[in-house]
Structure formats: C-alpha cells, structure tokens
Structure 1
Amino acid sequence: MLLLALDTATPAVTVALHDGSRVVSESSQVDARRHGELLLPAVDRVLADAGLRLDAVTGVVVGVGPGPYTGLRVGLMTADTFGLALGVPVHGVCTLDGLAYASGIDGGPFVVATDARRKEVYWARYDDVRTRTGEPAVDRPADIAAEVAGLPAVGAGALLYPGTFTDARGPEHVSAASLAALAAERLAAGEELPAPRPLYLRRPDAQVPKNYKVVTPK
C-alpha cells in the first residue's frame, strides 16, 4: 500500500505519503490564497523526499471538508485527476476527522472547529479521536455555545473564538499525515471509506446577479 493524501479544505496546503504502516514523507504550507499554486509542487516534493515516483501510488486520500468552495475543490479535483490517471481508488475523509485524529485527546467528548469565515465555524463533536457523533455543521459560535460549553476544542475555529471554546487547543489546521494514517487504519480494518465528494455546507460566494439580462445575437 502507498497512499497519497492531500487536503486543501483549510488554509493549509498539505500532502503526505503513507505506506500502510507509517508516514514516509509529508509537506504542509499555510497560505489560504495559493492552494492551486502550491499543491502540485508539494506532491512532487513528498515523492522526491521519499525517493518514489507517482506511479508507485496505490490509492489517493483527499480531505472532503467542510471548507470554502474555492480551496476545497482544488484538492478534490486534483485527487480525482490522479485517481483517473493512475487507475487507483480515491478515498474521501472528512477534514474534521483528520483534525480529531491528530488531536491526541485521550477520551471525550470534544469538539473540532475550523474557520468558516463570515464569523462562523465548521464544527463537529467527537466521542474519541476516531468517532464523530453527528454530521459536520456550520454555525456562528454564539449559537452553539451551550452545546460546546466546557469541552476541549481543536482547530483554528476554536482558537479564533475563545469566548465560546474555552478550552481551545491545537493542532490549528489539518495535516495530510493524519488523514493518511486514519485512512490506512480504516482500510486495514476492512472499512469502506466515503466517496470523494465535497462537504460545502453552504452555497459559494459567487452568484448570478439578480435581474440578469440575457443578451442574444440578432
């Protein structure tokens, strides 16, 4: 097994290789505006560091969000392209699950929250580092204060709103290494991973203007 994992659902552009037992190479850069520019060079870098070629990859793992529309689709489209070109399966993993897995929190419950902008967070609750208790959601921190009160909270969203997440801690962003390790563990246990479909949770910012006038040729 050689899994190529990547995620662009947060400001981190993160890539890793996992051989089924351990992470053999990884790269992470934080730049919310350069996902498309940074992702492929990062893939080249982790392959070169591991002394491997792309055709050695037997599966692709991609973070499916939730995350902003533009950044998230960069990773998903790249993963789909690799899967088609190499003829290998592409597995989706919730980005919040990767953060939970990397948190190292011993027992639960706890919360993972990432920055959704617009003064909102993407968040989910966990019983332990491997077990999410419901579907991810997007909310204003004040609206979920009662639900998360007193719980440890991981991620950039938690760190941004300490008034709501009173026990906020790192990691701040997801790493492809944690996504790959979680995916490898689940695959080894015979679990079927989700399809690589995006968790947008809300509509994109770009909208067709109202009262749009269609111009047709004469």
Structure 2
Amino acid sequence: MLLLAFDTATPAVTAAVYDTDTRTVRAAADQVDARRHGELLLPTIDAVLREAGTPKESLGGVVVGVGPGPYTGLRVGLATAAAFGHALGIPVHGVCSLDGVARAARDARVVSGPFVAATDARRKEVYWARYDADGVRVEGPAVDRPAEIAEKVAGLPAVGAGALLYPDVFTDVPAGAPEHQSAAALAAFAADALASGTPLLPPTTALYLRRPDAEVPKNYKTVLPA
C-alpha cells in the first residue's frame, strides 16, 4: 500500500510517499518556512507524487501530523488531509508530530536509550515528549517552559529544534539529531502501527495543547438601541 504523508505542525513543510509493502520511501521533500505552509504544502505534495510516479488515485491512505503545533500552520495540514481522504475515499491517519521527530532520530541512530523530543512552541515554551529505549512515548505531548521540565529531562539526550533553543536545559543534543519534522519518518511510524494493529490518532484530533491567541472578549460592553 502507498501512503502519502505530510506535516505542517512545525516550521517544516514536509511530504513523502511511502510503500508499506517494501518499507521504502519512494519520494520525499522538506522545506523550512514557518510562514508559508499554505503556499508550499500542495506544490510539495504534487512534487513527491510526481517523483514517486504515483497517481493520487493509487494511494491507499493519508498520514498527517496532528501536532502539537501552532494553530494556523497545523490547520493547513489537517484540512488538506481531510480533503484528500474525502476526494479519494481513502482513510486518513493522524500521528503525533513529536512521534515523527522521535522516529527520525531513531532511524538516524543518534539515540539508543531513553530520550526527549522537543519542538519550538514559541512564547519561550517547547512542545515535548519523553520516549523509552524502544522509541515508545511514555510522557507527553505537553507544552511547558523549559525551566519547568528541567528535572524531568535532565541527563536525557534530546532531539528537535526546541532542544537546540535551550541548551541550558537540554544539555545533550546528539550530533546529527533531526531538527525538524520528516514526513518519511512519520509515514514509517504509521506503517509500523498499521501493520501491528496499533491504533493511530483520528485526523480530527488536533493537539493544540493551549488556547488560541484570538478569543471572544469577555465582559465587553453591549450597546443597545435607544
């Protein structure tokens, strides 16, 4: 089965076509641009489908990162995944975006024991999760200020852009560790889960982890006609 995977929960706009039968990546593309998810995602998807020689009608499923991530960028990926699934009549599977970063780190063999994956949540915070030696998430995802989790992550290798931003807390960032999301790793994670019967996340479950910036004002003055 061919999976189309993509993620817009981090500054990376990443897409890949993955063959679950051969466990190989047919094509992948990654760009880092935190402000152009909406402009870049569909051309990136089109490029990997063309490179893989895969008509969209031959896809067996879609895999999308469901965060954690900022609202605007994350919605681009989720809406696109829903559109593909509806138009093609194929299932859409959600994966925690931090699980993709963690899978990329394990595939690159930069970690071998327990470790942490962290991405930039802005506002001087990180999205993070802790993994055991087998790459299974044992804590998180969560959003916190790095100082608040210093004791929890002390002594653990850390991967991801969030770890690089706060070296005083994430003191062990292995050389060659992935900084951004990889759709290829996200697809590999999903393929393993599907093969083993492990449930994946609903694609409608967006892991925002905090309230949006724009909210309806409370206790605003109501003006009534005279």
TM range (shorter): over 0.9
- CA shift digits 1:113-167 (9 cap, x unpaired): 1000000000010003530002311000011111111110000000000000000
1:148 counterpart (144, 147, 153): 153
Distance 2:49 2:223 in 1: 49
After superposition, residues 1-218 of structure 1 pair within 5 angstroms as: 1-20=1-20, 21-104=23-106, 105-169=110-174, 170-196=177-203, 197-212=205-220
Q: Please provide the CA RMSD for this pair.
A: 1.7
Unaligned regions of 5+ residues in structure 2, if any?
none
Unaligned regions of 5+ residues in structure 1, if any?
none
Change (3 A) 1:5 1:210: same
Give the deviation of 1:213 after TM superposition. Answer: 5.1
Q: Which amino acid counterpart does residue 40 of structure 1 have in structure 2?
A: L
Q: May I ask how many residue pairs the two structures share in their alignment?
A: 218
Partner of 1:134, secondary structure, is strand
Distance 2:77 2:124 in 1: 24
Partner of 2:190, secondary structure, is helix
Partner of 1:172, secondary structure, is coil
Give the deviation of 1:98 after TM superposition. Answer: 0.6
Residues 107 and 127 of structure 1 are in contact (CA less than 8 Å); yes or no, is this contact kept in structure 2? no
Residues 112 and 158 of structure 1 are in contact (CA less than 8 Å); yes or no, is this contact kept in structure 2? yes
Identity of aligned residues (%): 68
Give the deviation of 1:109 after TM superposition. Answer: 1.3
Distance 1:215 1:184 in 2: 56
Residues 14 and 39 of structure 1 are in contact (CA less than 8 Å); yes or no, is this contact kept in structure 2? yes
Change (3 A) 1:86 1:213: farther
- CA shift digits 1:74-131 (9 cap, x unpaired): 1011001100111000001111011111102443211011000000000010003530
Give the deviation of 1:214 after TM superposition. Answer: 5.9
Give the deviation of 1:211 after TM superposition. Answer: 4.6
TM-score (norm 1): 0.95
TM-score (norm 2): 0.92
Residues 101 and 129 of structure 1 are in contact (CA less than 8 Å); yes or no, is this contact kept in structure 2? no
